[in-house]
Amino acid sequence: MNKPERIDKTASTEAVMRAIGESARAAAHELALASTQAKNTALRAAAEALRKAAPDVIAANAKDVAAAKMAGRIDAFVDRLLLEETRIAAIAKGLEEIAELPDPVGTVLAEWTRPNGLKFQRVRVPLGVIGIIYESRPNVTADAGALALKSGNAAILRGGSESHNSSRAIHACLVEGLKAAKLPEAAIQLVPTTDRAAVGHMLAGLDGAIDVIVPRGGKSLVERVQKEARVPVFAHLEGICHTYVDRDADLGMAVRVVLNAKLRRPGICGATETLLVDSGTPPTYLPTLVKALLDGGCEVRGDAEAKKVDKRVKPATQADWSSEYLDAIIAVKVVDGVEAAIEHIAKYGTQHTEAIITANTETAEHFLKAVDSAIVLHNASTQFADGGEFGFGAEIGIATGKMHARGPVGVEQLTTFKYLVRGSGQTRPM
Amino acid sequence: MNKPERIDKTASTEAVMRAIGESARAAAHELALASTQAKNTALRAAAEALRKAAPDVIAANAKDVAAAKMAGRIDAFVDRLLLEETRIAAIAKGLEEIAELPDPVGTVLAEWTRPNGLKFQRVRVPLGVIGIIYESRPNVTADAGALALKSGNAAILRGGSESHNSSRAIHACLVEGLKAAKLPEAAIQLVPTTDRAAVGHMLAGLDGAIDVIVPRGGKSLVERVQKEARVPVFAHLEGICHTYVDRDADLGMAVRVVLNAKLRRPGICGATETLLVDSGTPPTYLPTLVKALLDGGCEVRGDAEAKKVDKRVKPATQADWSSEYLDAIIAVKVVDGVEAAIEHIAKYGTQHTEAIITANTETAEHFLKAVDSAIVLHNASTQFADGGEFGFGAEIGIATGKMHARGPVGVEQLTTFKYLVRGSGQTRPM
């Protein structure tokens, strides 16, 4: 068993990271063979340890919070950082919920027999080692570590330096869980140094030790990871999500869904940023939608048509069609039917999540087929773009790339597969 | 419709490649919505065109062959390049066989309904644009173009300069097929320039136009592509495949399978390169296996134990355990049981294909579970590592990476998926 705590504290960051990579790789080999029961035992024991250690975690967190306040960080930042009883209880409960999820490893995805008698199986196996680079939310330590473990992967966690004390305290509980289940402690490692060079080493893949990197944080972090990573990345840079209200939409439904899609939580990646309204909708539609948004406290930036509706509407500029506000602001554009909506989305969208509101099934099916996004919805809020809402139990993020994982990244998406072929001495004809 | 032939021949390679990328992207949007029938019509019409154009293709090929001979290329190279009636007929038949394959696009991979009534579907969709970089085999033009088309992807083909005339003649037939089916001609583009800089542009992804690159050729090509590509790559660099003969193996089966695994076609990536023999096998096993290989015309490079068996056995050096001979040469090592075999494979293997020969199901299942390769076989020849043998109909190559495609890459592996969510006005609770 590899003990990450044995790392020489005087060693260079490069040496530290190399050792972490090597022990993660070794742990991944053990984890790939670990039983579902062992993994679940580790998760439940970690939850228990976390509940018991709540005072220590709160004390460690207090140091981070004090430092953040000293550094003049804004309230929202401090709030993301803060841990108290309720939040710690929620993190512990999250660990237990991940234990309850079905184990994806070993699932037979397909099986068939060939005429020569060879029996083929395509079976889910873990990816290997997952690097997670995140910012100030210390709960990511537990969530990401647990999802990696459940899917049989080793995790290398690199949290923001501002939450380092909090993350260390949480990580200690995860390690207690691993010990209780007799799983390698290196299954979930927290990078012990706050040296920023550690991130560079992870992005380079730690000499082939890291199979995939998941960034959790703001746009600048994701941008850096996507640009510099030499290994695959599961991420989305932006969620410029669209809701299109078609000529055949029910107005009541359209208003309800659009308000929810924008204003339920304007700051999540699945929030609608642009509302497209069909020019063929009845004349009451555009004004009703725009006024409902304005009255709901949303800033509306409209094209010429939308501006006519209400003097509170601000003029949209070209930049608005490419803006992820993550705030109570929406861009509104009138388009000539579903084809124009699809074209606008192809041009300005980020292949994250788009919705159509219409009672016309044919129009809806065309939209679902033609829009090239990870998630396409008919008559539902774009805020459903979430692993929990999909029934995945928990997600490590949402990916907008097309390779491997697309959409919410849950435990299944953290696996790959291999082919098992069982024979009775078959050879290929010469 | 984008007509690649309109490209200005005086334009810079960069401009040419950018235009190719843009028209491929546009074609990909059309192809994603193309019917199965249209795609199959194109493939069958291309086969027909190829049969009719056989004399032209042979004439074009003769130019390439003459140039290769002038350049003093070895016979094996010229043979790979050569096209005659039989080979052209085989290429045409290959196109028709791809038309016969089921269309992966639109397949519902999973569907479920959530308690709130939202209906989820995970549906196969094309990846987008596939770049294929290959060497002297002109048939790749047809095979790769057809597999991309069948899976709804646009293809950008960059063949070796030595086969450029041949590839152009074949490509013209593919374009005839596309025209006959009223599909965009830019669905399958052949890079018109032999300027090597074109490869660099493709590896950089053509401003985001290319979704994945598939290299087809020797190790140096694959190495360059894996090292320089800024987009995902489906490939394998080496296939250092192992066959392990366990103490519980049937000797007759072991000899048959090992001879086949090595000598049926020593030059394919699924050929066994290292034979591992359990030290617990009865004393007749190792000599019988080694002598059968030697008598079959195979050079044997053995460890100390294997060397004792026959004076024809050459001593294996450390380098032999990491060698992909692609020839009638095999490295032989005696290992202490299945765990030692698994360890050897983890250390020296390339995660391609490995086999165990044993009558002990428990040992076999442990090997299948513990070996982290794309393909793991029990009692069968490693030469089954082939899309055709898997029943995939045709393959564009074998991938040893763990992301997205692993093992034989057929039409299914050239797709991704998206989530379609159908509702009746659902919103997320505030």
Q: Tell whether the model's pLDDT for residue B162 goes beyond 90.
A: yes
User: How confident is the model at residue B62, as a pLDDT?
Assistant: 97
Q: What is the pLDDT of residues B320-339, one digit of tens each?
A: 999 999 999 999 999 999 99
Q: What is the C-alpha separation between B257 and B345, in angstroms, rounded?
A: 19
Kindly write down the DSSP assignment for every residue of A249-275, as one continuous string.
Answer: --HHHHHHHHHHHHHSSTTSTTSEEEE
Structure tokens at B152: 């709804």
Cβ pair A256:B427 closer than 8 A:
yes
Predicted confidence at residue B136, as pLDDT, reads 84
Q: Whole-structure pTM over 0.90, yes or no? A: yes
Burial A49-76 (b: 16+ CB within 10 A, else e): bbbebbeebbebbeebbebbeeeebeee
Q: For residue range B20-39, list pLDDT tens digits in order.
A: 999 999 999 999 999 999 99
The amino acid sitting at B258 is V
Based on the fold, state whether residues A251 and A372 are members of the same structural domain: yes
**Is residue A334 classed as helix, strand or coil in its secondary structure?**
strand
Q: Is residue A358 within 8 Å of A249, Cβ to Cβ? A: yes
Distance from CA of B10 to the nearest CA of A (A): 30
The per-residue pLDDT for A10 is 61
Q: Is the pLDDT at A9 greater than 90, yes or no?
A: no
For residue B204, give the amino acid letter: A
CATH number, residue B366: 3.40.309.10
Query: In angstroms, rounded to a whole number, what is the distance separating the alpha carbons of residues B211 and B206?
Result: 10
Residue of A379, A423, A426 with shortest CB distance to B424:
A379
Contacts of residue A49, Cβ cutoff 8 Å, sequence gap at least 6: A172, A173, A176, A177, A180
> What is the structure's pLDDT at B10?
61
Q: How many of the other CB atoms lie within 10 Å of CB of A347? A: 9
Burial class (CB in 10 A: 0-12, 13-18, 19+), B337: middle
- The pLDDT confidence band at residue B8, using thresholds 50, 70 and 90, is low
What distance in Å separates residue A298's CA from the closest CA in chain B? 16
Please tell me the predicted confidence (pLDDT) of residue A4: 45
The CATH code of the domain that includes A41 is 3.40.605.10
State how many domains chain A has: 2
> Which of these, B327, B292, B330, B328, lies nearest to B314 by C-alpha position?
B330
CA distance B383 to B365: 20
Choose the mutation target among A263, A343, A377, A402 for the interface with B, i.e. most B CBs under 10 Å: A402
The answer to whether the beta carbons of residues B362 and A407 sit under 8 Å apart is no
Does residue B252 have a pLDDT over 90?
Answer: yes
pLDDT of B251 over the 50 cut:
yes
Q: Kindly state the percentage of chain A with pLDDT values over 90.
A: 93
Mean pLDDT, chain B, integer: 95
Residue B64's SS3 state is: helix
Residue A166: both structure tokens together: 């909090």
Which residues in chain A touch residue B346, judged by CB atoms under 8 angstroms apart?
Answer: 29
Given a cut of 60, whether residue B401 has pLDDT beyond it is yes
- Helices (DSSP H) in A33-84: which residue ranges? 36-52, 54-70, 75-81
Count of all residues that appear for chain B in the document:
430
Dihedral angle sign, alpha carbons of residues A350, B190, A232, B382: positive
Burial class (CB in 10 A: 0-12, 13-18, 19+), A228: middle
User: What is the reported pLDDT for B5?
Assistant: 45
Burial category of A113 from C-beta neighbours within 10 Å (exposed 0-12, middle 13-18, buried 19 and up): exposed
Q: What is the pLDDT of residue B326?
A: 93
Q: Are residues B221 and B273 in the same domain?
A: no
Tokens of A410: 């849950």
As a whole number of angstroms, the distance between CA A270 and CA A408 comes to: 11
Model confidence at B137: pLDDT above 80: yes
Task: Verify that B36 and B171 share a domain, yes or no.
Answer: yes
CA distance A423 to B380: 5
In angstroms, rounded to a whole number, what is the distance separating the alpha carbons of residues B217 and B31?
27
Question: Angle at Cα B7 formed by Cα B4 and Cα B10, nearest 5°?
Answer: 155
Residue B24 lies in a domain: yes
Min distance A69 CA to chain B CA atoms (Å): 31
Is the backbone of residue B20 left (phi > 0), alpha (psi -120 to 50) or beta?
A: alpha
The span from the CA of A354 to the CA of A367, in Å, is 9
Q: Where are the alpha helices (DSSP H) in A105-163?
A: 139-150
The residue behind tokens 């290292």 is B274
pLDDT for the residue numbered B393: 84
Q: Is there a domain that residue A98 lies in?
A: yes
Amino acid at B68: A
d(CA A291, CA B215): 55
Q: What are phi and psi of B155, to 5 degrees?
A: -120, 140
Kindly indicate the confidence band of residue A272, based on its pLDDT and cuts at 50, 70 and 90. Answer: very high
Choose the mutation target among A125, A226, A426 for the interface with B, i.e. most B CBs under 10 Å: A426
pLDDT over threshold 90, residue A393 = no
**Domain-embedded: residue A114:** yes
Whether residues A162 and A248 share a domain: the answer is no
d(CA B328, CA B312): 14
Q: A418 vs B372: CB contact, 8 Å cut-off?
A: yes
Interface test with A, best of B31, B233, B426, B430 (most A CBs within 10 A): B426
Alpha-carbon torsion A229, A234, A238, A240, what sign? Answer: positive
Whether residues A28 and A171 fall in one domain: yes
Which candidate from B29, B369, B418 shows the least CB-CB separation from A374? B418
Nearest to B403 among A232, A406, A430 (CB): A232
Residue carrying the six token digits 């774009």: A382
Asked if residue B257 and residue B366 are part of one domain, the reply reads: yes
Q: Helix count (H) and strand count (E) of chain A?
A: 15, 16
- Chain B positions touching A421 (Cβ under 8 A) are 375-378, 380, 384
CB contact under 8 A, A421 and B29: no
Residue A398 lies in a domain: no
> Cβ separation of A33 and B369 shorter than 8 Å?
yes
Same domain, A129 and A264: no
Map tokens 């299948």 to a residue.
B368
Label residue A345 by pLDDT band (50, 70, 90): very high
- The verdict on B57 and B176 lying in the same domain is yes
**CA dihedral of A278, A279, A283, A287, whole degrees rounded to 10:** 60
Mutate to test the interface with B, among A373, A381, A392, A428 (most CBs of B within 10 A): A428
**Band of residue A264 on the pLDDT scale cut at 50, 70, 90:** very high
Per residue in B73-88, pLDDT tens?
Answer: 999 889 999 999 999 9
* Confidence band, pLDDT 50/70/90 cuts, at residue A136: confident
Residue A245 lies in a domain: yes
Question: Which chain A residues have a beta carbon less than 8 Å from that of B416?
Answer: 402-403, 406
pLDDT at residue B59 is higher than 90:
yes
Q: Are residues A212 and A277 in the same domain?
A: no
Instruction: Flag whether A276 is in a domain.
Output: yes
Tell me, what's the ipTM?
0.93
User: Which residues on B lie below 8 Å from A256 (Cβ)?
Assistant: 425, 427
Question: Do A219 and A349 fall into the same domain?
Answer: no
B130 with B272, same domain: the answer is no
pLDDT tops 80 at residue A7: no
Segment B180-197, tens digit of pLDDT: 999 999 999 999 998 989
Tell me the chain B residues in contact with residue A428 when contact means C-beta distances shorter than 8 Å.
260, 264, 381, 383-384, 389
What residues of B are in contact with residue A347 (Cβ under 8 Å)?
A: none
- Assigned domain for B430 exists: no
* DSSP, res A312: T
Name the minimum distance, in Å, from the CA of A136 to any CA of chain B.
Answer: 25
What is the enclosing helix (H) or strand (E) of B236? none
Looking at the structure, tell me whether residues A74 and A185 fall in a common domain: yes
3-state secondary structure of B79: helix
Pairwise CA distance, residues A35 & A31, whole Å: 8
DSSP summary character for residue A233: B
Domain span at residue A152?
4-234+409-419
Provide the token pair at B205: 């992804």
In a domain, A385, yes or no: yes
The yes-or-no verdict on residue B146 having pLDDT over 80 is: yes
CA–CA gap between residue B189 and residue B180 (Å, rounded): 16
